[in-house]
A and B are shown apart, each in its own frame.
Chain A
Amino acid sequence: MSFLVFIVCPILFAAALAFTQLDLTSREHLHFVGLDNFREALKDPYFIQATKVTCVYAIMIVPAFVVLSFGLALGLQAMTFGRNAVRGLIFLPGMFNVVVASIIWRWFYDGEFGFFNYLLKRVGIMPIHWLGEKTLALPSIVVMSLWWGLGGATIILLAALQQIPTHLYEAAMIDGATSRRLLTNITIPQMRHVLLFIVVTSTIGAFQVFGQTFMMTNGGPDRSTTGLVQLIYDTAFNKYRLGYAAALSWLLFAMILVVIIVQALLLRRSID
Chain B
Amino acid sequence: MLAVAVVFLSPAVLMVFTAFKSPDEVLNPSSAIPHHWTLENFARTLKYSEEAPFAQWLLNSMLISTSVTFLVLFVSSLTAFAIARLKIKGSGKILAVIVASMMIPGQLFLIPVYLMLGWFHWLDTPLALIVPATAGGFGVFMLTQFMRSIPPSLEEAALIDGCSLWGVYSQICLPLCTPALATLGIFTFIGSWNDFLGPLVFMDSVRNYTLPVGIALYQSSYFTEYGKTLATSVLGTAPLVIVYCIFQKRIISSMATTGLKD
A binds B: yes
8 shortest interchain CB distances as A-B pairs: A159-B256, A156-B259, A6-B135, A10-B112, A13-B112, A99-B212, A100-B233, A6-B132
Please name all residues of chain A whose beta carbon is closer than 8 Å to the beta carbon of B236 when the two chains form the complex: 97, 99-100
The answer to whether residues A11 and B241 also contact, given A197-B259, A197-B262 and a CB cut-off of 8 A, is no
Contact at A152–B255, with CB atoms within 8 Å?
yes
Chain A residues 76-104 with CB under 8 Å of chain B are: 76, 78-79, 82, 85-93, 95-100, 103-104
Q: Is the CB of B111 within 8 A of A245?
A: yes
Give every chain A residue within 8 A of B5 (Cβ-Cβ). 85-86, 89-90
Interface residues on A, range: 35 or more
Main SS class of interface, B: helix
Interface residue stretch chosen among B8-16, B33-41, B151-159? B8-16
Residues of chain B contacted by A104 (CB below 8 angstroms): 11-12, 14-15, 230, 233
Name which of A47-55, A132-140, A166-174, A229-237 contacts chain B: A229-237
**Contact count A vs B, C-beta below 8 Å:** 211
Say which residue of B107, B109, B114, B211 sits within 8 Å of A229 (CB atoms). Answer: B107
Nearest Cβ in chain A — how far from B231, in angstroms? 11
Interface hit among B45-53, B177-185, B194-202: B194-202
Interface residues of B (CB under 8 A from A): 1-2, 4-5, 7-9, 11-12, 14-15, 18, 26-27, 29, 75, 79, 98, 101, 104-116, 131-132, 134-135, 137, 140, 190, 193-194, 196-197, 201, 211-213, 215-216, 219, 224, 226, 229-230, 233, 236-237, 240-241, 243-244, 248, 251-252, 255-260, 262
Minimal beta-carbon separation of A50 from chain B (angstroms) = 13
The one of B27, B105, B216, B255 that contacts A253, using a Cβ cutoff of 8 Å:
B105
Q: Which of A153-171 contact B (CB under 8 A)?
A: 155-160, 163
Docked Cα-Cα span, A151 to B244, in Å, equals 13
Q: Which residues of A contact B (CB under 8 A)?
A: 2-3, 5-11, 13-14, 17, 72, 75-76, 78-79, 82, 85-93, 95-100, 103-105, 107-108, 110, 112-113, 115, 118, 147, 150-152, 155-160, 163, 193-194, 197-198, 204, 207-208, 210-211, 214-215, 229, 232-233, 236-237, 242, 245-246, 249-250, 252-253, 256
